[in-house]
Chains A and B, each alone.
Chain A
Amino acid sequence: MNIFRLAGDMTHLISILVLLLKIYATKSCSGISLKTQELYALVFLTRYLDLLTDFISIYNTVMKLVFIGSSLAIVWCMRRHRVVRRSYDKELDTFRHYFLIAATFALAVLVYEKFTFREILWAFSIYLEAVAILPQLVMLQRSGNVDNLTGKYVFFLGAYRAFYILNWIYRYFTEARFTRWIACVSGLVQTALYADFFYYYFISWKNNAKLKLPA
């Protein structure tokens, strides 16, 4: 594992910890898109089916279990927790995420590495992850004001994607057989979606001001 990959996994982990911290400390999920969280839960559940068949490393197994467990816990909290669910901004979270699921599944049936059940689900999870942040970004845009922890959550998620791109560049030059087109192209698309958010995040950081997204 190279340093970029590790940095990517760690920023991904931090983003989830920041989100859990926000929900736990404020007993509120305001500003968080339940739809994005449900999509992530689906992404992890479909991608990590290999937990049942392949062993790569302890690190790999633990991280996968953490991602599945935390995403399910967050969805559970936002839907079922007595206090937390009341702060969910349902009227701002109107993105039609079923459309994303249908479109990415259709793409996975057309473009895959191998025509097997597992590989098609793997491709689906990669495509779905690329666009899963959209309901969250739309929600931030709508509410305009972004609270500190929600802003940091999205920032770390974006950083995770950026580090993965550096990781692929590194692997491309250091490993003879590293060509994972589906993951790399989807990863580029996914990172590009954060560009606008990053722009405003850095401006607010530079000016030491509260993060605000233009309407």
Chain B
Amino acid sequence: PSSSPPKDEL
């Protein structure tokens, strides 16, 4: 259920 948001940070 909990799809974590994409890791967009560096």
Contacts and interface: CB of A to CB of B under 8 A. Distances in A.
B6 A54 contact: yes
A60 interface: yes
B10 A9 contact: yes
A56 B8 contact: yes
A67 B10 contact: yes
Given A113-B4, A114-B4, A12 B10 contact: yes
Nearest to B6: A56
A183 interface: yes
A172 interface: no
A5 B4 CA distance: 20
A115 interface: no
B contact residues, range: under 10
Contact of A177 (B5, B7, B8): B5
B7 to A, nearest CB: 7
A64 interface: yes
A63 B5 contact: no
A50 B7 contact: yes
Which of A9, A57, A60 counts the most B-chain CB atoms under 10 A from its CB?
A: A60
A64 B8 CA distance: 11
A167 B9 CA distance: 10
Interface in A42-64: 50, 54, 56-57, 60, 63-64
A82 to B, nearest CB: 32
Given A57-B8, A67-B10, A167-B9, 8 more contacts: A5-B9, A54-B6, A56-B8, A60-B10, A63-B10, A64-B10, A177-B5, A183-B9
Q: Which 6 pairs across A and B sit closest by C-beta, in order of nearness?
A: A56-B8, A63-B10, A177-B5, A9-B10, A113-B4, A56-B6
